[in-house]
């Protein structure tokens, strides 16, 4: 009876120790992967622009193109008026 209790305590101790080691290993790996994911996100933010930034830049370029278009229209009209005189 005493020997079976000692044996059972030993098996349970070994089992829970093994389970604890496995869980700790997985938790440590999860922490490592989380850190790597955060670093990847930070690096991607340095290299890529957001949709809002792209839209702002496109709007700025389009505004400049519209201004150039208006200037070209005025230039062509003034040339046409000078030829007609």
Distance of CA 50 to the CA centre of its chain: 10
Rounded CA separation 75/81 (Å):
10
Torsion sign, CA atoms 55, 56, 62, 65: negative
Give the separation between CA 58 and CA 50, rounded to whole angstroms: 12
Cα 61 to Cα 54: distance, rounded to the nearest angstrom: 11
Mean pLDDT of 20-43: 94
Q: Is the pLDDT of residue 10 over 80?
A: yes
pLDDT in tens, 45-77: 777 888 999 999 999 999 999 999 999 999 999
Distance CA 27, CA 19 (A): 12
């Amino acid at each position: 009876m005493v020997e079976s209790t000692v044996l059972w305590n030993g098996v349970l101790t070994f089992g829970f120790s093994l389970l604890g080691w496995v869980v700790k290993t997985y938790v440590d790996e999860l922490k490592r992967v989380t850190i790597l994911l955060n670093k990847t996100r930070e690096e991607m933010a340095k290299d890529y622009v957001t949709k809002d930034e792209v839209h702002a830049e496109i709007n700025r370029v389009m505004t400049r193109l519209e201004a150039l278009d208006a200037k070209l229209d005025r230039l062509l009209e003034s040339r046409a008026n000078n030829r007609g005189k």
